Chains A and B, each alone.
Chain A
């Protein structure tokens, strides 16, 4: 009987493909490098996006999206409006509100490191009077020292926002800084406040002390309220009228977590650009592999002829070269994925973000490499398979 061609096992196919690469190691490394660069950049972009997204999301989850702020807009005559004295109390009585607090910038007051610096020269750090429930409402934390308490809120004690402390070069409590003509003692430094980034750059003093010693009139600049999640939209509508019943139009209500959400979205758009660049690098890498494989087919006509004479079918020759291209691309892809992941994990470490291992990014890197290998191997493989045994054997 006329025999049927045998089927090669997957293992044999891989072995044949890899043997072809081992014989031309230097060239294999160079052509895999192109794919490695493309995949590494794509994986790094997506990996960094994943870890930074995870970082932002963690921050959002921690501070919540249920805080609203009320700030005065501008009155009709252009004068800066202020919020009524009793606005905090009224806001805190809205059903669903679980906490309300306020800050007020003390007009004309700045904080400076020494008395010697002319207040007109430095755009010094702003001074804000704060209520004691500020940290509870904004879910803020203290980096060093303590926050104000009922006692220290009546004394020349100050808590610095994280960047204000950095600007002063202060990293622990105990130092004195110069505020509105007097020395005050730093008793604490805060961690960043994602919901009130302005306060990161401010010096915070007690409400009663500001009223008594700094000529502060007691009108809040910003009221913060936190509610249950399901009440946020309802409260947002009622907030202006509650905070300032006489002039609800002079009040601005906003949701500070929107800035974080917007940052997440912006990041995704930014990623698109870099992913595109990575894809171009990958394409160039794929063309490199196709080139190397075409040269390889030209050089290995005798090997192809020999294999045909030993009984290889056209299909088996084609498959051998596709497997070789995929192996080549996969070597680059795996290297690129490892490099890209390492880059994104290092980035996460440097930023203090959680180390999220982006599983779908790894899958994507490897899949992209396999696809690039198949596509770039197809044409050379077809050329190899198209050779007749005698054509192939005749050369050289």
Chain B
């Protein structure tokens, strides 16, 4: 069964901007896919649709075979909590929380008790090589380390699919390479990973590449 299916999905923003046109795409379990295209081509829009953060104006989005159009906002929240992990270009870490607390927040909305949240957070941070940064706050971490905290937060709930929107966009080459290594590792462990990037070299290196231009899949 496919993990994600876009079926003639389009997105028109209020004001008339057509950010995505008639996108049809299937991503299978365990795939590592790059969605590649220049800035403004509609990549993030596509990620929002696939990640249930937004609904298509037309067409369908299926997650594990379920049509998301049939689900209420409440159920979509639960779908995100249980199945999906996000990594964003801007990290979105909470400034006054430690690395472990930031990661543990991910489990809050799964109803995991506080003690188990922190234990799982420690484990996830070790998986991304930050076992020695558990109690550091975001401002005490480098950009690459912050993004690794964000990845730990995405994977701590063992999601079905991980979406990374320009995960290396704010990082220098070396840190970026470290992030890509982690994504590869997750892929090898069986997680479905979708990476959005405008960096063609990065996209080229991944097993599958989907190109987007002006809102259309190539």
Which chain A residues have a beta carbon within 8 Å of chain B's beta carbons?
A: 2-9, 11-12, 15-16, 19, 22-23, 302-303, 305-316, 388-390, 393, 396
Contacts and interface: CB of A to CB of B under 8 A. Distances in A.
Nearest to B68: A2
A8 B108 contact: yes
Contacts of B110: 6, 311
Interface in B74-89: 74-75, 77-83, 86, 88
A7 B111 contact: yes
A311 B111 contact: no
Nearest to A300: B94
Contact of A311 (B82, B96, B97): B82
Given A12-B114, A19-B96, A22-B96, A2 B109 contact: no
Chain B interface size, as a band, is 20 to 34
A315 B75 CA distance: 12
A311 B88 contact: no
B82 A310 contact: no
Contact of B92 (A11, A19, A302, A314): A302
A300 to B, nearest CB: 10
Nearest to A5: B78
Nearest to B53: A389
Contacts of A22: 96
B95 interface: yes
B71 interface: yes
Contacts of B153: 310
A396 B90 CA distance: 10
Contacts of A9: 111, 113
B109 A316 contact: yes
A5 B109 contact: yes
B79 A3 contact: yes
Given A2-B66, A6-B81, A308-B53, 4 more contacts: A12-B108, A19-B96, A19-B97, A310-B109
A311 B92 contact: no
Contact of A313 (B66, B73, B92): B73
Contacts of A23: 94-96
B143 to A, nearest CB: 17
Given A12-B114, A19-B97, A314 B74 contact: yes
B80 to A, nearest CB: 5
Contacts of B114: 11-12, 15
20 contacts: A2-B71, A2-B75, A2-B78, A2-B79, A3-B83, A4-B78, A5-B77, A5-B78, A302-B90, A303-B92, A307-B109, A308-B53, A308-B80, A309-B80, A310-B81, A312-B109, A313-B73, A390-B48, A390-B54, A393-B92
B77 A312 contact: yes
A23 to B, nearest CB: 4
A18 B51 CA distance: 30
Given A314-B74, A315-B74, A309 B66 contact: no
Contacts of A393: 53, 88, 92
Contacts of B105: 307, 310
Interface of B: 48, 51, 53-54, 66, 71, 73-75, 77-83, 86, 88, 90, 92, 94-97, 105-106, 108-111, 113-114, 153
Contacts of A16: 108
B53 A390 contact: yes
Given A302-B92, A389-B54, A393-B88, A310 B113 contact: no
A382 to B, nearest CB: 14
B111 A6 contact: yes
A333 B153 CA distance: 37
Interchain residue pairs A-B with the least CB separation, the first 6: A311-B81, A6-B111, A311-B109, A3-B82, A313-B77, A5-B78
B196 to A, nearest CB: 14
Contacts of A311: 77-78, 80-82, 109-110
B155 to A, nearest CB: 13
A305 B94 CA distance: 12
Contacts of B81: 3, 5-6, 310-312
A313 B74 contact: yes
A11 B117 CA distance: 14
A161 to B, nearest CB: 67
Nearest to A1: B66
A15 B113 CA distance: 12
B77 A388 contact: no
A368 to B, nearest CB: 30
Contacts of A315: 74
